[in-house]
Structure 1
Amino acid sequence: MKKITACVLSTLVLAMGILSGCKQNSQSAGSESNNNSKVVTIEAQTAAPETTRVENLEKAAEKLNEELKKQGKDIRVKVKTKVFEGSWEEYAKQFMLAFKAKKEPDIYATGHENIGWLSDGNYILPLDDLKKSKEYSHVFPILWDSVTYKDHIWGALQDTEARPVFYNKDILKKLGWSEKQINDLPEKVKNGEFTLDDMTKLAEEAKTKGLTQYGIIHRPVDGPDFHVMVYDFGGKLYDPKENKIVLDKKAVKKQLDYYYEIAQKKLIPDNLTQMEWSNIHKAVVNGKTLFYYGGIWNVFNWSQDNFHEKLGKVDEKWVNEHLGMMLIPAAEKGGKPLTLSHPFVYTVSSQTEHPKLVKRLLELVADPALQVEHDVKTFHLPVTKSAADHLNFKAHATLANVTYMTEYTTFLPNHEGFPTYSKAVFNAIQAVELGKKTPEKALNDLEVQLKSDLGDKLKIVD
């Protein structure tokens, strides 16, 4: 995940103690006159470091201005960009404070999971018309689920990603696998022939034979990846009809059983949930694990820091030679494998003075070329089929080869209570991996805690 350091936006905000710094240009918001044309300034904000999310809006504004000129309208749109540098919690708090002061951006780029509280707090406008627009007609259908809340669309999809399982090709070769077998593994997973249990057994074999230090590694901190296991075991995380977080006890028990098993078999590091991210990346690129639950953006991470003991930074070509990517295997033979995505979205302030111009800008920024420029630079996936078919995207072998994963993806609930649920589940997983609790005990304690923390926002399914 991104590591962002906070800085200061203004002395007023500093005194308030919550708002953090935003890099921005010197343009003032609102409207002004320029060469007898009315200039409408639209503010857009995103979090560092993917600045292309707002830079693309500036490019979309150029197209919008061309449209306005052809329509004979004496208006010119200028986008004022802000890039926030701080934690995700601070990013949300500074938006709420700015909203109260009526100084929030017109366009607020954020993770899809935030649209629940943004909607409930009347911070943002519904964007149902986007789904009917020509520009969003080629969106991968499943992605609309990520921006739907209470039967409305609340965000313009900006990008998405996949969280595959990386596998070490060198270790598989040492196990006697042929080149064809190695290259066919993603397809076997896709067809439900290679299951989660097969993955565990293969990791156990590699470790037993001394071919790798670890069989499996996952993220060391709380995050989305863990919850994909509930989906894999046939469970649910959210009930949209009742708008409640779901504790699916049967699926969560299997989830805890899985992490308990790989810990008891010593397939993961003893202190995995206490490790630094840098040590996770070093273990993966240095061949110390057969499998790694990661994200496609890790390919970019490994090219930016000296994680490899001999080579330092490793490029995309090196990654593809030594590592492969596959979907998370199905829990049962013949089942459907899956992944989990975390789409970033543009939301529109309910206080914007220019809703029509803003919405048209969001249509134009979905241009395939603009999507691809961002995706290739930041190692993300496009949200429309037209962008996925763009020649510049197809030329990017790594991303093009995993785009199919979008059809198998899942999402976190767009509910304000989910962070509480997620933290509690992570603590339960950590407890079973460290051997402090059995899965049964961890589940019982989890139920008690969630009942207390979430109250009537929780639905328990036995």
Structure 2
Amino acid sequence: MKKRLISNILFVVFICVVLIIAGCEQPSLSKKSSTDVDGTKIVTIRAQTAGAELTRVENLVKAAEMLNKELKEQGKDIQVKVQTSSFNGSWEEYAKQFMLAFKAKKEPDIYATGHENIGWLADGNYIIPLDELKKSKEYSDVFPKLWESVTYRGHIWGALQDTEARPVFYNKDVLRKLGWSEEEIDSLPEKVRNGEFTLEDMTKLAEEAKTKGLVQYGIIHRPVDGPDFQAIAYNFGGKVYDPEENKIVLDKKAVEKQLNYYYEIAKKKLIPSNLTQMEWSNIHKIVVNGKTLFYYGGIWNVFNWGQDNFHEKLGKVDAKWVNDHLGMMLIPAAEKGGKPLTLSHPFVYTVSAQTEHPELVKRLLELVAAPALQTEHNIKTFHLPVTKGGAEHPDFKADVTLGKVAYMSDYTTFLPNHEGFPKYSKAVFNAIQAVELGKKTPREALKDLEVQLQNDLGDQLKIVD
């Protein structure tokens, strides 16, 4: 009883400390939003993001300049000022910080986050729907499929900020050693696109490269839980979410094939035996040093490889080096003639339900979709545009990396926005880890996964045999 009392006291103290931090750590997010200066009303709009891609909020400052010019031309005595901040911490902490700030009415008007957070933000009444964005001129040429990522319960809840692709990188040097011509190497992405080169072909080619001693491993994937793993389930025809019932789906046939795939590449020793226990730095070193033929990565990895000394001789490598030595293709289709795919994780702007200036905020989010602003962000951070106008921007098309993968947006898939997905994702990753480590067969892992998800998700789960 005494231990429980002490535990409760410590928990209350922790919450108080977090609330104090939420209120004091970011004075730039003051709730005071407007003052009168020389007869002109200055409206303050607060925007927050997380991570190193600061252009996500810096571009809003530039969009405000466009908005202010618009307001002046309309004869309105209003000017908008954007205050920005970036959160440094885990994504889980970023979400908790927003919830606490919202409760204290100190949250940002614009909260930039991954699209998969829309579910809990909408269900918790933290944000407002933005259905009118789809009708605006600025978003009229959005790649249609991207709207799926911000749609939940029949409404649009986020302004698309950027997207990306998770291609399979392939090592050109290894293919050259296998006797491939430059034409064959350069045409591989198109063969994948046409369904001529399948997932099975990829596995066989990885085996050949390893058997001939050209690589230490044939295939590398991310070492931790993440979106990429669900792309393989989609590849086998699976679905993870039912929007009509608003439930997470355990598609047993597809998931068993998904587990079989990881079991197979582990049994054939095409991956490191401890892949799911490795550090990210080791993954990057394996890829840039030519120790694997294939790597399930993301286009932003080109940025990563230019920031740290991963290459044993060259240290940091630039985009030109990457394109000389590595190619990028879609994830090959599971069957001949099938459709390949990738998976995207769009970042989005959401609008606080407590914002004092919803119409100004919405107009700001329309203007920030300008192709020039998208391009500036995309080139700096190696992301893809959300509109066709952004994809046609000369600077984007000229980029040695991005221009080659823009087409992947037509083949993309997304994670569900359901709040129960993180539990599903973690459970599936644990099952994949178990089969790769040889602790369970795919059938055993699937059986345990079903029990785990039933316990974790309850009536939020739909099981399809």
Alignment of 1:442-461 (within 5 A): 442-461=445-464
Structure 2 residue aligned with 1:303: 306
Instruction: Deviation per CA, 1:387-430: give whole Å up to 9, x if none.
Output: 10011111112101100000000000000000000000000000
Structure 2 residue aligned with 1:312: 315
Structure 2 residue aligned with 1:98: 101
> Does 1:343 pair with 2:346?
yes
> Does 1:190 pair with 2:171?
no
Structure 2 residue aligned with 1:31: 34
> Does 1:425 pair with 2:428?
yes
Which one of the candidate residues 279, 284, 289 is aligned to 1:281?
A: 284
> Does 1:391 pair with 2:394?
yes
Look up the equivalent residue of 1:417 and give its one-letter code: G
Question: Partners of 1:328 and 1:197 in 2: how far apart?
Answer: 11
Look up the equivalent residue of 1:233 and give its one-letter code: F
Change (3 A) 1:348 1:339: same
Structure 1 residue aligned with 2:183: 180
Question: Partners of 1:128 and 1:17 in 2: how far apart?
Answer: 35
> Does 1:400 pair with 2:403?
yes
> Does 1:260 pair with 2:263?
yes
Work out whether residues 167 and 331 of structure 2, in 8 Å CA contact, stay in contact via their aligned partners in 1.
yes
Work out whether residues 162 and 340 of structure 1, in 8 Å CA contact, stay in contact via their aligned partners in 2.
yes
Which one of the candidate residues 98, 112, 115 is aligned to 2:115?
A: 112
Question: Partners of 2:47 and 2:355 in 1: how far apart?
Answer: 11
Alignment of 1:34-433 (within 5 A): 34-433=37-436
Work out whether residues 22 and 85 of structure 1, in 8 Å CA contact, stay in contact via their aligned partners in 2.
no
Change (3 A) 1:21 1:270: farther
1:99 Cα deviation after fit: 0.6
Question: Partners of 1:229 and 1:21 in 2: how far apart?
Answer: 44
Change (3 A) 1:200 1:22: farther
In the comparison of the two structures, how many residue pairs are matched?
A: 452
1:24 Cα deviation after fit: 6.7
Question: Partners of 1:95 and 1:209 in 2: how far apart?
Answer: 53
Change (3 A) 1:30 1:163: same
Instruction: Deviation per CA, 1:102-156: give whole Å up to 9, x if none.
Output: 1110000000000000000000000000000000001000000000000100000
Change (3 A) 1:280 1:115: same
Change (3 A) 1:13 1:65: farther
Question: Partners of 1:211 and 1:456 in 2: how far apart?
Answer: 50
SS at match of 1:335: coil
Look up the equivalent residue of 2:427 and give its one-letter code: A
Work out whether residues 161 and 380 of structure 1, in 8 Å CA contact, stay in contact via their aligned partners in 2.
yes
Structure 2, unmatched stretches of 5+, are 1-13
Question: Partners of 1:101 and 1:197 in 2: how far apart?
Answer: 54
SS at match of 1:296: coil
Work out whether residues 50 and 112 of structure 2, in 8 Å CA contact, stay in contact via their aligned partners in 1.
yes
1:28 Cα deviation after fit: 6.6
Question: Partners of 1:249 and 1:179 in 2: how far apart?
Answer: 41
Instruction: Deviation per CA, 1:74-104: give whole Å up to 9, x if none.
Output: 1110001111111100100010011111111
Question: Partners of 2:81 and 2:364 in 1: how far apart?
Answer: 11
Question: Partners of 1:135 and 1:440 in 2: how far apart?
Answer: 49
1:17 Cα deviation after fit: 7.5
Instruction: Deviation per CA, 1:430-451: give whole Å up to 9, x if none.
Output: 0000000000000000001101
Change (3 A) 1:337 1:20: farther
Work out whether residues 21 and 85 of structure 1, in 8 Å CA contact, stay in contact via their aligned partners in 2.
no
Work out whether residues 23 and 106 of structure 2, in 8 Å CA contact, stay in contact via their aligned partners in 1.
no
Change (3 A) 1:13 1:373: farther
Work out whether residues 343 and 414 of structure 2, in 8 Å CA contact, stay in contact via their aligned partners in 1.
yes
Question: Partners of 1:172 and 1:26 in 2: how far apart?
Answer: 53
TM (norm. structure 1) is 0.96
Instruction: Deviation per CA, 1:159-199: give whole Å up to 9, x if none.
Output: 00000000000000111100000000000000000000000
Change (3 A) 1:449 1:15: closer
Structure 1, unmatched stretches of 5+, are 1-10
SS at match of 1:44: strand
Look up the equivalent residue of 1:368 and give its one-letter code: P
Work out whether residues 454 and 461 of structure 2, in 8 Å CA contact, stay in contact via their aligned partners in 1.
yes
Question: Partners of 1:182 and 1:297 in 2: how far apart?
Answer: 22
SS at match of 1:304: coil
SS at match of 1:290: strand
Work out whether residues 159 and 350 of structure 2, in 8 Å CA contact, stay in contact via their aligned partners in 1.
yes
Question: Partners of 1:186 and 1:23 in 2: how far apart?
Answer: 46
Question: Partners of 1:22 and 1:377 in 2: how far apart?
Answer: 28
Instruction: Deviation per CA, 1:274-298: give whole Å up to 9, x if none.
Output: 0000000000000000000000000
Instruction: Deviation per CA, 1:18-40: give whole Å up to 9, x if none.
Output: 74986675877311112210100
Look up the equivalent residue of 2:293 and give its one-letter code: L
SS at match of 2:306: helix
1:48 Cα deviation after fit: 1.9
Instruction: Deviation per CA, 1:3-60: give whole Å up to 9, x if none.
Output: xxxxxxxx99745477498667587731111221010000000002111000000000
Change (3 A) 1:297 1:446: same
Look up the equivalent residue of 2:439 and give its one-letter code: K
SS at match of 2:383: coil
Look up the equivalent residue of 1:385 and give its one-letter code: K
